[in-house]
Amino acid sequence: MRQTLELTAHAKLNLTLKVVGRRADGLHLLDGLTAFCEFGDKIRIETRVDRDSLHLTGPFATQVEGENIVSRTLDLYRDATGLMEPIAIEIEKNIPIAAGLGGGSSDAAAVLRGLQKIYEAPLNPDTLRDLALSLGADVPVCLACKSAWMRGIGERLSNAGPLPPMRLVLVNPGIALTAGAVFRRYQGPYSA
């Protein structure tokens, strides 16, 4: 029987972010408070389709270039679970690309949550968290999708508790700036 699941990949906000060091492998160590917005990308996952598909719509769909993190997410999930049936994924891209709002990471995390729900949680929490981290440093906090203190390279999360509602205005100048590019250039100084 065909199943359809619709969910939101919420935009991520770093309310505080300190770079506290750098590992030998070049990854930066972080300490920050992360929260999530009500708005985000809309994701639709459908099973029992003829073939895999990934379709992007929305105001920022045309700005997605290269390999999509959601395709990698599906591949890694299949490797970990052995589930091979074709999946159709549609993403309405409402989160600006390369704007520091975790759009791709949040999309990947929402797809992981959705697949776990559809297939009745075949991966245990530790394996799911490891899979999320292998996709990117922001994916574990996006998987949790609640306010958290994020430390290490993003793998160490602790609950920040509920935050008061906030009204925010975010300004996007339309200039893409990936986290990877920013961190590659950052040489310090590091916060204490």
Write out the catalytic residue numbers: 12, 138
Which DSSP letter does residue 155 get? Answer: T
Q: What is the separation of C-alpha 132 from the centre of its chain, rounded to a whole number of angstroms?
A: 8
* 20 three-class SS: strand
For residue 139, count other CB atoms closer than 10 A to its CB.
26
The residues, any chain, with a CB within 8 Å of residue 127's CB and separated by 6 or more, are 80
State the Cα–Cα distance between residues 147 and 31, nearest whole angstrom. Answer: 13
Reading the block at residue 11, the tokens are 């935009």
In angstroms, what CA-CA distances link 132 with 6, 106, 159, 169?
Answer: 20, 10, 18, 29
